[in-house]
């Protein structure tokens, strides 16, 4: 059995996800938060679609002073504003239509009244605070590419550019299988037992990465239970199955044997990474993928960043997460043949704001260091010196 390199594992996971690109669906704008655009988002009309005032104040014609025709701004929603001749002014509010003849907007704080006249304390330049139509975007201009996650700013842009529905990728369905005789889901674990750290977080992680949990199963450590879980109706209906634990090579690990019994094949048998080496990616009958995460919590979440994130990105039309560059505050000696994934936090010391310091409590079975982390340091087999450039991944959840 040959280990996949960490880089190759990410690449192959993304490729396999892209081969299973999810169908698309049209969804109401108000229910689209967090979804992934399946088509380009373009402006349906110019932004803004008409010439408007950028400030509260007065539309004026000429250098002034001006005869104030109305000191109460017309309602912008009425869609009509009288024109003004030279030497005239009319009150406007932000968003008001610009009256015909306007040469600039005089801000209310830069003006005063002298009887019936409006006087500028600070004369406006020609064109000041007039927003021409199309200043932000022309009709048909690209606002967001396919594969963009619909966060608040993108949703707001879609709304003001005239979209009521958006085409998004359907969420790939993910069935979760939690293994382990020793795992308890509540209360205090007895000696030899461990509390379940996966079922509260994996559905959230799947949703954050673009998928949807379609079902969960909890089993003990037997081959029969593992085969039944992977071949259940819910598991057969899912696009992806994610298991936790049982990925090792002892006589108490059954996920690999269950894959072969069901006619599946291992695409990635193990990954040259620490933690998370015994992670596995397999294909199953029915065009399904199985991601087998190790049982140690930190190892499992580093494996999820390595395999589950790229698969769901590929299936929803997105590129793999980009490796970014920072500076390490710590020395990492060589670790031949292994890529290390290290939870880390940004520092504000002499190393500068672009420096990442490894977290404490980052053994494979520990989660405390990840809970406090901002990013994942990616340390190649050659290691890294303090103060030297190093790659990192943004936390994908």
Question: Are 209 and 121 part of one and the same domain?
Answer: no
> Is 194 among the domain residues?
yes
CATH number of 69's domain: 2.170.190.11
- Domain tally for the chain? 4
Tokens standing for residue 232 = 């259940």
CA distance 116 to 265: 87
Domain of residue 87: give its range: 52-131
> Is 384 among the domain residues?
yes
**Contact yes or no for 247/270 (Cβ under 8 A):** no
Domain boundary residue, one of 104, 131, 158: 131
Question: Are 228 and 183 part of one and the same domain?
Answer: yes
CATH number of 243's domain: 3.40.980.10
CATH number of 378's domain: 2.40.340.10
Question: Are 204 and 337 part of one and the same domain?
Answer: no
Question: Are 92 and 127 part of one and the same domain?
Answer: yes
Q: What is the chain's Cα-based Rg?
A: 29
Question: Are 40 and 157 part of one and the same domain?
Answer: yes
> Is 68 among the domain residues?
yes
Mean pLDDT per 10-residue interval, the chain, length 397 residues: 92 96 94 95 94 94 93 73 91 92 96 92 94 94 96 96 97 97 93 93 95 96 97 97 94 94 97 97 97 96 98 96 95 96 86 82 92 96 95 94
Question: Are 163 and 28 part of one and the same domain?
Answer: yes
Question: Are 239 and 350 part of one and the same domain?
Answer: no
State residue 210's pLDDT score: 94
The Cβ of residue 366 has, within 10 Å, a number of other Cβ atoms equal to: 18
Tokens standing for residue 319 = 């590129």
CA distance 202 to 21: 21
> Is 232 among the domain residues?
yes
> Is 118 among the domain residues?
yes
> Is 268 among the domain residues?
yes
State residue 72's pLDDT score: 83
Question: Are 295 and 175 part of one and the same domain?
Answer: yes
Domain boundary residue, one of 315, 350, 380: 315
> Is 1 among the domain residues?
no
Enter the pTM of the model.
0.87
Considering only the C-alpha atoms of the chain, give the largest distance between any 2 of them, rounded to a whole number of Å.
Answer: 96
State residue 349's pLDDT score: 64
State residue 134's pLDDT score: 94
Question: Are 252 and 343 part of one and the same domain?
Answer: no
Domain boundary residue, one of 297, 315, 333: 315
User: What number of residues does the chain have?
Assistant: 397
State residue 354's pLDDT score: 82
The Cβ of residue 287 has, within 10 Å, a number of other Cβ atoms equal to: 9
At residue 77, the 3 state secondary structure works out as helix
> Is 386 among the domain residues?
yes
| Residues contacting 138, CB < 8 A, separation 6+ | 43, 46
State residue 101's pLDDT score: 95
Question: Are 227 and 237 part of one and the same domain?
Answer: yes
Question: Are 42 and 81 part of one and the same domain?
Answer: no
Question: Are 199 and 159 part of one and the same domain?
Answer: no
Distance of CA 279 to the CA centre of its chain: 24
């Amino acid at each position: 059995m040959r280990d996949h390199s960490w880089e190759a594992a990410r690449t192959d996971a993304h490729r396999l996800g892209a081969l299973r690109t999810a169908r698309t669906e049209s969804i109401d704008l108000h229910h689209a938060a967090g979804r992934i655009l399946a088509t380009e988002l373009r402006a349906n009309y110019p932004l803004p679609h008409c010439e408007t005032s950028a400030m509260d104040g007065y539309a004026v014609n000429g250098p002034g002073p001006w005869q104030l025709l109305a000191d109460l701004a017309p309602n912008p929603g009425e869609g009509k504003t009288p024109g003004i001749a030279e030497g005239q002014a009319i009150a406007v509010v932000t968003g008001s239509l610009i009256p015909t003849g306007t040469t600039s907007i005089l801000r209310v704080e830069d003006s005063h009244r002298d009887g019936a006249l409006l006087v500028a304390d600070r004369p406006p330049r020609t064109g000041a605070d007039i927003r021409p139509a199309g200043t932000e975007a022309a009709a048909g201009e690209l606002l967001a590419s396919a594969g963009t996650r619909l966060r608040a700013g993108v949703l707001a842009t879609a709304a003001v550019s005239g979209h009521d529905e958006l085409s998004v990728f359907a969420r790939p369905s993910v069935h979760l299988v939690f293994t382990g005789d020793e795992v308890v889901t509540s209360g205090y674990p007895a000696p030899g037992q461990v509390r379940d750290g996966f079922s509260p977080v994996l559905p959230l992680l799947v949703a954050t990465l673009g998928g949807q949990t379609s079902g969960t199963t909890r089993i003990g450590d037997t081959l029969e239970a593992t085969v039944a879980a992977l071949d259940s109706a819910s598991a057969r209906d899912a696009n992806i199955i994610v298991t936790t634990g049982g990925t090792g090579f002892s006589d108490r690990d059954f996920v690999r044997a269950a894959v072969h019994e069901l006619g599946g094949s291992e695409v990635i048998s193990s990954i040259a990474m620490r933690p998370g080496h015994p992670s596995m990616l397999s294909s199953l009958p029915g065009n399904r993928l199985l991601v087998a995460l190790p049982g140690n919590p930190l190892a499992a979440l580093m494996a999820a960043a390595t395999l589950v994130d790229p698969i769901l990105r590929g299936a929803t039309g997105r590129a793999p997460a980009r490796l970014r560059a920072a500076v390490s505050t710590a020395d990492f000696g060589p670790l031949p043949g292994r890529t290390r994934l290290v939870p880390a936090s940004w520092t504000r010391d002499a190393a500068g704001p672009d420096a990442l310091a490894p977290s404490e409590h980052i053994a494979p079975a520990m989660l405390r260091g990840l809970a406090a982390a901002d990013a994942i340091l990616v340390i190649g087999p050659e290691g890294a010196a303090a103060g030297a450039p190093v790659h990192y991944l943004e936390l994908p959840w």
